[in-house]
């Protein structure tokens, strides 16, 4: 892939010279845009500059990219006042922001991580590089948390939006993101910035500082940089008026009263529990008795119950709708603290050899509050804490026991704190063999140290034991300890009746602490050589070749309770294993024709890579896998106005350490059970590793055109089609899909579903599998236009759009889905459109930024009145299967006080648009795509000396 690597200083020089090429290059560096296709800009001596662009290892000058390359320059970050490059990339239409602070909420693990997901294919299929080299895995999923990359030094980011495994190896199925640092920085630059929402929350502070200079008579150069970011996060669902307004309420059986199986509505109450305890009974004198804080009872207001089930999971309105135990306490965005340090030094050992040393450190701390524990326990008449009034009712009616549903809102959700540290050192040599041949080699050491600690995490089995309290000789004890031998001497009796009656000792027993640690270590040794072999009519036939050895290992530990999946949430596990990779590649480029009629440029590009994997883990025999990847591409430009490009590649991704040797963890999810008249049920959901996974293979096509019409100077347009078919994809189907397909007759999936003797669903095991196929197709559109306005300054217009044609995972097409129902996989919108306008005049620059997501589908597996084949009697029917679209408008301004100092401000979500309602596990919307914050203000200052 071709782009140019030109410093901002050279860009500005080109613009001062009035060159059209310089203007186009500035446009590419200033925003996300397809890599320039023209010849490289000449340097001061008039010679063309040789470059290497992500997606290819070949050093070239004046050639074009057969695969689209999107570039995000530092100017975009400055215009948007973005302090984390991950946030800038997640704004682009080609990325799905699946793992960000706004989407984690009650999920443990790497809290606050920003993980990149190209094309909606999953973060593990996006290869992340730093200056063309791999970055040590820095999450428990084996992906890269870009929080740990020094955003303050990023000169630009290049995104290859197509398969690149032949050039860079495993993981590049969706593409490559290469962060390129400014290693030529001379002098001091820094910034301070703060932000806050209109509602007074979401406060954030950021400080960045970097310094570079020469030494040893300018034979050497060094840089040191650091940044600190402190984001305070948001409150829970009840800090936003829109958040409690919608949940998914069941109507069982489907079609009852002419209503569908699922109803989006709210605020929702609960039919099987309350914050002080609710007696769950379908009829009789105890039905609907709720316990008050003082132990007395009151008639529980269920609100509106849909269907014939008198005790459904959710109801419309009622007592608990004011503060629902399923939403209480879960933060809309967690607090995250980030520290990054970086140092670089290079030294010219001779005219032909240069040595480089890079050192970096990053630390991310975060905190989430888990969902409130919810238990259903059996209460015996002999319970020592049973209020007298209820005991009397039981005696009068001959009732020996009842079921109590309790949301432990008085304890709050478990608090999970994570600390993620990453260390990285790279020593490299690079040299020139001759005018046309170059080489480089490096050794990299990386280490990631992760720890999470959770407190107040309820254990359901202990709740059952502690709540079953009896009076023995005037002393209240747990029934399991009432015999001659205590079954659990640590058990503390629990008064479960009424909020606020749990003693500190009982709370400590039912909600102890847990932890998990994971240490990932990576060693990499690599060498590359590239140069020209012979001349062709269009230029030199060039090749690049090299080899790489990589060793990734993981060790870890977890407490015994987590290991046994005993806790209500989180349940971290130890990951222990090793993967060794040895690979070699050859890449070639053949410029066939140049400067001929109907063939201004005609070139071919190809590569092949052979890879050997060896996987080992304690207690299991080692396994090995071999894989071959390849690509072929071409560019044809009949004239200076239009250029066509296409690639075909075979890409692979081998399962990483966590996928092979990681844990199987326990969580909770809501299932609409088609085998039980569409009833909504909260079940245990297991997810995690599978040691039998095989590598996945992808066949990728890209084809497109770039238009640069000379009759409209400054205009550039590109349209690219991509088609990625992934076979044996490592993925989960989603708990809901497993249940649906088992019920539909795919009996091979029924092994992952557990039911009790009555046929009631109890758990779903949604572990990783080599899913049959993922089919991903779409169209990328990019346009830019820069023009001078004379005395009125300059105007830059930019547009990026992705039209998703298909995202099918395991046979379920999620295209157009902008809802995120519990137990399912998030989809992609039909369109994502991102546009910006920058007007600059003198010392002032004003910018507008807009993002549009059209109306989408709530869930493509459901059928609503807007869909063909709708019938309320269907188990997958819903009252509304659409999610409204949203347009977000942001505005910013920068004013230069002088050549060294500038001030800036940005208002995000200027129109203060609430997100569209789309009932999810996150509340009432899908925070992957929609903004939960509202109007947000950012302001700060930058200095350069």
DSSP 274: B
Q: In this model, does residue 43 exceed pLDDT 50?
A: no
Query: What domains lie within the chain, and their CATH numbers?
Result: 21-41+69-236+334-368+418-454+516-944 (2.40.170.20), 237-327+374-407+460-510 (no CATH)
Handedness of CA 862, 864, 868, 869 (dihedral sign): positive
Tokens in use for 484?
């001659």
Band of pLDDT at residue 108, cut at 50, 70 and 90: confident
Which of 344-358, 619-633, 833-847, 871-885 is least confident?
619-633
What local confidence, expressed as pLDDT, does residue 331 receive? 93
Q: In this model, does residue 26 exceed pLDDT 80?
A: no
440 compared with 736, residue with greater pLDDT: 440
pLDDT digits (tens, 9 = 90+) for 879-934: 999 999 999 999 999 999 999 999 999 999 999 999 999 998 778 999 999 999 99
Q: Which of 261, 338, 282 is nearest to 84 (CA)?
A: 338
Q: Which of 244, 209, 233, 234 is nearest to 83 (CA)?
A: 209
What local confidence, expressed as pLDDT, does residue 849 receive? 97
Strands 679-688 and 761-765: parallel
Handedness of CA 211, 448, 105, 86 (dihedral sign): positive
Band of pLDDT at residue 686, cut at 50, 70 and 90: confident
Which of 67-81, 662-676, 786-800, 806-820 is least confident?
662-676
Q: Do the beta carbons of residue 924 and residue 242 sit within 8 Å?
A: yes
What local confidence, expressed as pLDDT, does residue 53 receive? 60
Q: Count the Cβ atoms, other than its own, within 10 Å of residue 858.
A: 26
DSSP 538: T
pLDDT digits (tens, 9 = 90+) for 494-531: 999 999 999 999 999 999 999 999 999 999 999 999 99
Tokens in use for 806?
């298909």
Please compute the mean of the pLDDT values over residues 19-44 and round it to a whole number. Answer: 34
Q: Which of 514, 565, 512, 574 is nearest to 685 (CA)?
A: 565
Give the separation between CA 805 and CA 207, rounded to whole angstroms: 41
pLDDT digits (tens, 9 = 90+) for 594-628: 999 999 999 999 999 999 999 888 877 788 889 99
Tokens in use for 329?
């306490």
821 compared with 66, residue with greater pLDDT: 821
- Which residue's entry shows tokens 């070949």? 58
What local confidence, expressed as pLDDT, does residue 653 receive? 87
Q: Which of 522, 378, 548 is nearest to 448 (CA)?
A: 522
Give, for 38, the enclosing helix (H) or strand (E).
Answer: none
């Amino acid at each position: 892939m071709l782009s140019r690597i030109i410093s901002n200083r050279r860009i500005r020089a080109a613009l001062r010279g009035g060159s059209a090429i310089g203007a186009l290059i500035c446009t590419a560096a200033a925003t996300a845009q397809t890599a320039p296709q023209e010849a490289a800009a000449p340097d001061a001596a008039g010679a063309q500059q040789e470059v290497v662009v992500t997606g290819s290892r070949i050093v070239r000058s004046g050639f074009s990219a057969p695969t689209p390359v999107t570039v995000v320059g530092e100017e975009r970050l400055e215009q948007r006042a973005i302090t984390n490059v991950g946030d800038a990339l997640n704004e682009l239409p080609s990325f799905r922001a699946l793992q960000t602070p706004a989407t984690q909420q009650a999920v443990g693990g790497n809290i606050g991580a920003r993980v990149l997901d190209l094309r909606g294919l999953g973060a593990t299929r996006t290869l992340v590089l730093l200056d063309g080299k791999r970055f040590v895995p820095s999450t428990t999923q084996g992906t890269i948390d870009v929080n740990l990359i020094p955003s303050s030094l990023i000169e630009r980011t290049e995104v290859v939006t197509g398969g690149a495994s032949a050039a860079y190896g495993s993981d590049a199925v969706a593409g490559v993101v290469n962060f390129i640092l400014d290693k030529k920085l001379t002098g001091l630059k820094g910034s301070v910035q703060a932000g806050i929402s209109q509602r007074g929350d979401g406060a954030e502070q950021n400080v960045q500082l970097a310094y570079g200079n020469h030494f040893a008579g300018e034979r050497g150069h060094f840089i040191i940089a650091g940044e600190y970011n402190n984001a305070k996060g948001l409150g829970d669902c009840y800090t936003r008026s829109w958040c409690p307004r919608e949940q998914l309420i069941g109507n069982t059986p489907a079609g009852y009263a002419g209503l569908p199986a699922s109803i989006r509505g709210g605020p929702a109450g609960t039919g099987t529990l309350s914050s002080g305890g609710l007696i769950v009974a379908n009829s009789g004198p105890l039905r609907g008795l709720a316990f008050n804080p003082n132990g007395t009872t009151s008639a529980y207001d269920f609100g509106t119950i849909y269907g014939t089930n008198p005790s459904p999971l959710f109801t419309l309105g009622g007592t608990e709708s004011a503060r629902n135990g399923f939403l209480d306490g879960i933060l809309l965005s967690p607090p995250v603290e980030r520290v990054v340090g970086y140092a670089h030094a290079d030294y010219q050992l001779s005219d032909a050899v240069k040595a480089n040393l890079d050192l970096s450190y990053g630390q991310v701390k975060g905190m989430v509050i888990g969902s409130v524990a919810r238990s259903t326990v059996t209460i015996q008449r002999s319970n020592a804490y049973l209020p007298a009034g209820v005991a009397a009712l039981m005696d009068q009616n001959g009732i020996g026991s009842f079921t109590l549903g309790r949301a432990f809102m008085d304890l709050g959700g478990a608090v999970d704190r994570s600390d993620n540290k990453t260390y990285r050192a790279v020593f490299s040599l690079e040299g020139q063999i001759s005018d046309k041949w170059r080489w480089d080699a490096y050794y990299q050491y990386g280490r990631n140290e992760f720890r999470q600690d959770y407190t107040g995490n309820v254990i359901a089995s202990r709740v059952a034991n502690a709540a079953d309290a009896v009076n023995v000789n005037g002393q209240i004890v747990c029934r399991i300890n009432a015999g001659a031998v205590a079954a659990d001497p640590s058990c503390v009796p629990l008064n479960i009746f009424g909020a606020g009656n749990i003693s500190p000792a009982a709370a400590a027993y039912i909600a102890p602490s847990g932890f998990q640690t994971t240490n990932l270590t990576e060693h990499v040794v690599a060498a590359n050589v590239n140069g020209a072999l012979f001349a062709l009519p269009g230029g030199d036939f060039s090749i690049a070749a090299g080899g790489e050895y990589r060793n990734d290992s993981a060790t870890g530990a977890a407490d015994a309770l987590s290991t046994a999946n005993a806790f209500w949430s989180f349940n971290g596990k130890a990951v222990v294993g090793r993967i060794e990779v040895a690979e070699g590649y050859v890449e070639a480029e053949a410029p066939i024709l140049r400067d001929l009629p109907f063939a201004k440029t005609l070139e071919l590009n190809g590569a092949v890579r052979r890879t050997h994997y060896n996987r080992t883990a304690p207690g299991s025999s080692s396994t090995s896998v071999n894989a071959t990847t390849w690509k072929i591409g071409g560019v044809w430009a009949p004239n200076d106005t239009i250029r066509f490009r296409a690639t075909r590649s075979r890409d692979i991704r081998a399962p990483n350490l966590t996928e092979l040797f990681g844990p199987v963890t326990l969580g909770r999810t809501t299932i609409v059970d088609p085998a039980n008249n569409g009833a909504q049920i909260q079940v245990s959901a297991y997810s995690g590793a599978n040691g039998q996974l095989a590598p996945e293979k992808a066949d990728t096509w890209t084809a497109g055109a770039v238009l640069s019409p000379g009759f409209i100077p400054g205009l550039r347009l590109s349209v690219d089609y991509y088609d990625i078919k992934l076979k044996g994809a490592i993925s989960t189907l989603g708990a809901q899909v497993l249940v649906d397909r088992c019920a539909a007759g795919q009996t091979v999936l029924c092994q992952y579903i557990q039911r009790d003797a009555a046929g009631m669903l109890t758990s779903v095991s949604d572990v990783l599998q080599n899913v049959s196929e993922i089919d991903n197709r779409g169209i990328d559109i990019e346009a830019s236009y820069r023009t001078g306005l004379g005395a009125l300054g300059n105007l830059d217009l930019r547009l990026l759009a992705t039209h998703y044609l298909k995202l099918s995972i395991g046979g379920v097409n999620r295209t157009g889905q902008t809802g995120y129902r519990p137990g399912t996989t998030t989809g992609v919108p039909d369109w994502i459109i991102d546009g910006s306008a920058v007007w600059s005049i003198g010392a002032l620059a004003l910018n507008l930024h807009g993002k549009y997501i059209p109306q989408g589908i709530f869930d493509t597996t459901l059928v609503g009145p807007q869909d063909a084949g709708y019938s309320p009697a269907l188990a997958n029917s819903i009252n509304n299967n659409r999610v409204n679209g949203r347009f977000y408008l942001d505005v910013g301004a920068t004013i230069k006080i002088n050549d060294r100092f500038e001030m800036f401000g940005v208002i995000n979500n200027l129109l203060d648009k609430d997100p569209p309602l789309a009932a999810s596990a996150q509340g009432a919307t899908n925070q992957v795509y929609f903004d939960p914050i509202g109007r947000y203000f950012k302001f700060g200052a930058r200095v350069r000396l």
